Amino acid sequence: MDAGKIIAMLEKEYPDALCSLDYEKDYELLFATRLAAQCTDERVNKVTPTLYSRYPTLEALAEAKLEDIEEIIRSCGFYHTKAKDIIAAAQMLISEFGGVVPGDMDSLLRLPGVGRKTANIIIGDVYRKPAVVTDTHCIRLANRMGLASSKDPYKVEMQLAAVIPPEKQSDFCHRLVLHGRAVCTARKPMCDKCAVKDYCAKKI
């Protein structure tokens, strides 16, 4: 396993390491990430335009009726819990953080429905700080490539943080997602088309 070579090849293959969730405001990314739990980013991107057009401010979301939010986000799954979290988090952002999404792990984890994955997305994409986002693609590919040796998200986060330079961590995770969707799929990885096949620990 050569982390440096893998990073370089993925940078060449996916020069635009962009988050696949659409957003304009910081809190929109926060809530889109919450909606993406057990749901595809594609589906979330179809739902959020309606949500944010109907509730264009954080204050509007904080004052929204639970059943109204539920109806909009129903297709994302687990809509009751997600709707409760969005409203409660909007209220907390206003009451405790001045309407600004915080940029540190401890503060982010206090928000309803926010775990380390969501917090790291905010830290990496909004604040451009070192952050390792361990979603299912990241965990699968990191193990296949030999960059990690666990299925536990926190352990994988720590293992990747130890081998990926801090300034490259957030973009690297976005590239793993892109690569996981396009080539290194869960059911049938296309190793013959893989840009990092010469440096990957998994030989098929």
- Catalytic residue IDs: 117, 135
* In contact, 174 and 136? CB cutoff 8 Å: no
| Distance in angstroms (rounded) separating the CA atoms of residues 171 and 131 | 9
Decide: residue 188, CB within 10 A, 0-12 exposed, 13-18 middle, 19+ buried.
Answer: exposed
Decide: residue 114, CB within 10 A, 0-12 exposed, 13-18 middle, 19+ buried.
Answer: buried
| Distance in angstroms (rounded) separating the CA atoms of residues 176 and 10 | 8
| Segments in the chain forming alpha helices (H) | 3-13, 26-35, 41-54, 58-62, 66-73, 79-97, 105-109, 116-121, 136-145, 153-163, 169-182
Question: Residue 187 has what DSSP assignment?
Answer: S
* In contact, 105 and 148? CB cutoff 8 Å: no
Report residue 194 CA to chain centroid gap: 23
Going by C-alpha positions, the residue among 4, 37, 5 that lies closest to residue 21 is 37
